[in-house]
A = this chain, B = another copy of it.
């Protein structure tokens, strides 16, 4: 029995590792890895590669080097049993393949599955074990879980700051703070999120491309919160070979000429009502993004945007990239007056910088 549990943990960990290969490609689906083990040997592996493509379980069965009858299937997420989607459900395939035992980390939070997959497997007299490394599994699929449970994207604030909490030397002054290791890391992050979000001021001051260049990976959707429709048409974020990959949220409906010019540049415009303080309502933005299948958002600046997400508790995670500079006078990362406490999850040195990851709870 003891050996069995140790093996279960070992194989589920391997599922996590192969599942991660789908990062940046599977959204709005979860990251899933699957292993088939027979007589103590791995006979098949698979992971979910891309939304719309085959599930991990199917890939593991198809890649198997031996007959899978009698094997144990390891899978970090409960196999699916619902049919209103792009690919056929996995549970019938598992049953038909005469797999003997299924070991799972997390139940699927999707209401169409959520325990029903396990139930069907058990009804077919397959032994099912759930909850192996459950915490690690939900951490791996934090984006999918948030999106499935709250119908809202997973939001990460990424803040590059000096040791004394400044994001630039002065308001409206571009300041390069972090080193090349941090920049590479940010580009990797971008490739893993569905969308990047910045305020209009960041566009005007830094004029960033917001694309993935320092590492291999796909570009996310670029979202600009621009209440007054004030960003210049020459902004680099509008240089776009991929139509509709830049989205602007504005409360400015009347400036038809600018709206037209932006649309001509391939930009998708979302006109929303301003909040009482004339600011764009961030909560509404997130709701609209969720409806447009954006499951994860990386917020990259600036102070005003960080503060809104922070004060309204509309974020899940905060990544601080802290450079060992002192700026003294300068623009602080936040302008709020609320005293709030975060929970530190991870610390890592990135070149001369420090990366600190905090959870919002």
Contact = CB atoms under 8 A, between A and B. Distances in A.
B329 A335 contact: yes
Nearest to A311: B328
Interface string A91-119: 00000000000000000000000000000
Task: Give the size range of A's interface with the partner.
Answer: 35 or more
Interface string A296-335: 0000000000010010000000001001111111001111
Contact of A325 (B333, B337, B342): B342
A355 to B, nearest CB: 11
B349 A354 contact: no
Nearest to A328: B336
Report copies per complex.
2
B325 A329 contact: no
Tell me which of A164, A166, A329, A354 has the highest count of chain B C-beta atoms within 10 A of its own C-beta.
A164
Interface string A271-293: 00000000000000000000000
A74 interface: no
A358 B352 CA distance: 11
B342 A163 contact: yes
A320 B347 CA distance: 15
A162 interface: yes
Given A163-B358, A164-B334, A326 B342 contact: yes
A128 interface: no
A163 B165 contact: yes
Contacts of A354: 344, 347, 356
A347 B349 contact: yes
A334 to B, nearest CB: 5
Contact of A165 (B166, B310, B340): B166
A58 to B, nearest CB: 43
A1 interface: no
A343 interface: yes
Contact of A326 (B329, B334, B347, B352): B334
A162 B165 contact: yes
Contact of A341 (B169, B325, B338): B325
A347 B347 contact: yes
Contacts of A326: 310, 333-334, 336, 338-340, 342
Q: Identify the interface centre among A333, A335, A339: most chain B CB within 10 Å of its CB.
A: A339
A307 B307 CA distance: 27
Interface string A149-168: 00000000000011111100
Given A326-B336, A328-B338, 18 more contacts: A163-B342, A164-B332, A164-B334, A165-B165, A165-B166, A310-B326, A325-B339, A326-B340, A326-B342, A327-B337, A327-B339, A328-B332, A329-B336, A329-B337, A332-B332, A344-B349, A344-B354, A347-B354
Top 5 closest pairs, chain A to chain B, by CB = A165-B165, A328-B336, A164-B165, A324-B342, A328-B334
